[in-house]
Amino acid sequence: MLKVIVIGSGNVAHHLVKVLLKAKNIELVQVVARTKNTMTALLSEDQIIFNYQAIKAADVYIVAVSDNAIEEVSNQLPFENRLVVHTSGTSELSILNSKNRKGVFYPLQTFSKSKEVDFSSIPLCLETENMSDYKSLEIIGKAISNKVYAISSEQRKALHVAAVFVNNFTNHLFQIGNQICKENNIPFEILHALILETAAKITQLNPKEAQTGPALRNDTKTIEKHLEFLKNSNYQDIYQLLTQSIQHVAKEL
């Protein structure tokens, strides 16, 4: 049995606690919360503590607090040479206090308390300073998810930038598509199947192979018509920039 303590009671802590309580070979010993009346639906009162002095011994301490508070919380922990990990995609391993062994247990998904998640399909990005600590994180990771990866702080930084492209930027393009539909009295729902197929396709083909459209074909007449249609200069700029980028990538070997 691997003993785990979760520090924090926000979105990530909530989902982690829920899944760890059900995980095989994992004992969730305590949760450290800052605010009363949180986590009470998930845990008995004696498992929820509010000050670090009451913290018990465990194999792994998962610090799931706001990025800004990770350093401060790790400084306050009243023990040494134990494995303390954070759950942040953007914070480096080094942000944790060196009095303990450091690690990262980053679940690459978006979490809100009110939205259920299937943890088994969530990629877990793990990082530690040594192999034996990695094994401990791997045991926890594999007990709750089928997707466990060793990812360094440098790689995590890159992953976060890639995630902005594939999530935030594509969502912004959905928003533009939605606006164009709205202005032309077309239900955005008509595009749902295309959006889902675009996302599904790149699980089988690499994105470069999956690319289609006027930019790739260099259909200059169509491109001109589209630019003429778009009255919004911001949309025209985005259209032109993405067209150039698609054509640039297509020319690369």
Ligand X SMILES: NC(=O)c1ccc[n+]([C@@H]2O[C@H](COP(=O)([O-])OP(=O)(O)OC[C@H]3O[C@@H](n4cnc5c(N)ncnc54)[C@H](OP(=O)(O)O)[C@@H]3O)[C@@H](O)[C@H]2O)c1
Binding site for ligand X (CB under 6 A): 8-13, 34-35, 64-67, 69, 72-73, 87-89, 106-107, 110-111
Nearer to ligand X, 88 or 136 (CB): 88
For the CB of residue 197, give the shortest distance to ligand X in the complex, in Å.
26
Q: Which amino acid is at 40?
A: T
For the CB of residue 91, give the shortest distance to ligand X in the complex, in Å.
6
Closest CA to 116 of 251, 14, 247, 10: 14
For the CB of residue 146, give the shortest distance to ligand X in the complex, in Å.
18
Residue 49 phi/psi, 5-degree rounding, is -120, 160
Nearer to ligand X, 31 or 58 (CB): 31
For the CB of residue 14, give the shortest distance to ligand X in the complex, in Å.
7
In the β-sheet with 148-150, what is the strand arrangement from edge to edge? 48-49, 26-32, 2-7, 60-63, 83-86, 101-107, 124-128, 148-150
Neighbours of 24 (CB within 10 A): 8
For the CB of residue 109, give the shortest distance to ligand X in the complex, in Å.
6
Residue 25 phi/psi, 5-degree rounding, is 65, 15
Nearer to ligand X, 73 or 77 (CB): 73
Distance, CA of 107 to CA of 145 (rounded, Å): 10
